[in-house]
Amino acid sequence: MEFLAFFIPLAIFLSSAIVNGDGLSIGYYRHACPRAEEIVSKTVENAIKGNPGVAAALIRMHFHDCFVRGCDGSILIDSTTGNSAEKDSPANNPSLSGFDIIDSAKSRIEAECPGVVSCADIVAFAARDSAQQAGGLYWAVEGGRRDGRVSRASDIPGNLPPPSFDVNQLTQLFASKQLSQDEMVTLSGAHSIGVSHCSSFTADRMYNFSGRGVQDPSMDPRYALQLKAKCPASSSSSSVVVPLDPLSPTNLDVKYYVDLQVKRGLLKSDQTLMTNDATSRLVKINAKYPTIWRKNFGRAMVKMGAIDVLTGSQGEIRKQCRVPN
Ligand code: HEM
Ligand SMILES: *[C@@H]1O[C@H](CO)[C@@H](O)[C@H](O)[C@H]1NC(C)=O
C-alpha cells in the first residue's frame, strides 16, 4: 500500500509534467549549441539598431506563434500552393513582420550547430531580446520547444483575439490558453510599443462604434481627432500605421496603462480593460508601479512561451524555419 501511495502520485506528477510542457528548461542549448542564445541576441540587437520597429514585431510574433497550435514555430511556415499558412491570415498579413530576422539568426546557428536549435525557440529568445532592447526587461527563457509541421490560416479565428474583443471575450480566450485575466492585462502591456494599421481600429473607434456610425465615446475626443486626420474614413485599407502607445511609442514601459487611464487606448481591446473593476484596478497598479509590471510581464511571457509546446521526440528541428523538413 505504501508503495502505491508513493508511486501513483509520482506517476501522475511525471505524466502531467510532460503535458504541461515541463520538457522545457533554462539553458537548454548549453551543451549542444552554447552560443545559440547569444547569436539570437546579437542578430536581434543589430536588426533593432537598423529599425526600432523590429522589437515590437518580434514580441508580437511570439504571441501569435504560441496562441495558434502552441509555440511550435508554425507562424514561420510559408504558404504553399495547396495551403494558406498562418502568416497569410489577415491577422498577420501584412501587419506581422520580422521573419527575415528569424531566418538570419537560424542560418547563423545552423552554421555552428546544424539540426539542434528549433525555430520555435529562436522566436522565444528573440522576443525576450526585443523586450530587453526596447525596455531593459530581462527574463530567463526556457528552451526545448520543437517545431511543428503544420500551419493553417484557418486556425487563426478562435485562437487569436481580434481587436474588436471586449474584456469578457479577451478573458475567455486567454483562459482557453491557461492564462489568467491578470496575465491578459499584463501581456497587453506589450502594446506599449509598435504600431497598428488604421483598419484595425477605425470602424470600432472612429467611424462606426457599435455599428451606429459614430465615434467611440470612451475615447478622448482630441486623440480621436488626431487619429481621424491620419486615418480618414475613405482609406481604411491603406498601409498607414499609428503608434499603439502615443505617449512613448518605442519604449516598452507602463505608459500604455497611463494612456488607458486618459482614454487614449488605441484598440477597442485596449480601452476595454478600463470597463471592468478587476482589470481597471490592474491597469492603475501597473501604471503606478513599473517594477511590478516588469516582473509580471517576464513571468507571463514565460508562461505564454510554454503553451502547448512540442517537446522530446514530438515535432522536429526544422532546417529552414519557413519549410517543414
Ligand atoms: C489582448 C489581446 C490582443 C489583441 C486584440 C491584439 C491586437 C493587436 C492588433 C490589432 C495590432 C495591430 C496590428 C496592425 O493592424 O498592424 C497589434 C499589434 C501588436 N501587438 Fe497585439 N493584441 C493583443 C495582445 C497582444 C499580446 C499578448 C502581445 C505580446 C505579448 C501583443 C503584442 C503586440 C505588438 C508588440 C504589436 C505591435 C506590432 C508592430 O508594431 O509590428 N499583443 N495587436
Ligand atoms: C457599421 O456597422 C453596421 C453594423 O455592423 C453595418 O451594418 C454598417 O454597414 C457599418 N457602416 C459602415 C459605414 O461601415
172-216 tens-digit pLDDT: 999 999 999 999 999 999 999 999 999 999 999 999 999 999 999
Residue 305 alpha carbon to ligand 2 centre in Å: 37
Q: Return residue ranges of the chain for CATH 1.10.420.10.
A: 167-300
- The arithmetic mean of pLDDT across residues 286-302, rounded, is 98
Our answer on whether the CB atom of 205 is closer than 6 Å to any ligand 1 atom is: no
Give SS3 for 37. helix
Q: How much is the pTM?
A: 0.94
The residue nearest atom 4 of ligand 2, judged by CA position, is: 211
Mode of pairing for the β-strands spanning 25-26 and 195-197: unpaired
Q: Which amino acid is at 60?
A: R
CATH number, span 12-159? 1.10.520.10
Our answer on whether the CB atom of 59 is closer than 6 Å to any ligand 1 atom is: yes
Smallest CA-to-CA distance from 197 within 127, 267, 98 is with 267
Is 191 one of the annotated active-site residues of the chain?
no
Q: Which amino acid is at 238?
A: S
Portion of the chain with pLDDT greater than 90, in percent: 90
The residue nearest atom 1 of ligand 2, judged by CA position, is: 211
Q: Which of 22-26, 37-41, 300-304, 317-321 has the lowest mean pLDDT?
A: 22-26
Q: What residues does 18 pair with on adjacent strands?
A: none
Which of 133, 179, 191, 244 to probe ligand 1 with, by most ligand atoms within 8 A of CB?
191
What digits encode the pLDDT tens for the residues 122-140? 999 999 999 999 999 999 9
CATH number, span 167-300? 1.10.420.10
The residue nearest atom 8 of ligand 1, judged by CA position, is: 163
What digits encode the pLDDT tens for the residues 214-258? 999 999 999 999 999 999 987 656 899 999 999 999 999 999 999
Q: Return residue ranges of the chain for CATH 1.10.520.10.
A: 12-159
Who has greater pLDDT, 319 or 233? 319
Q: Which amino acid is at 72?
A: D
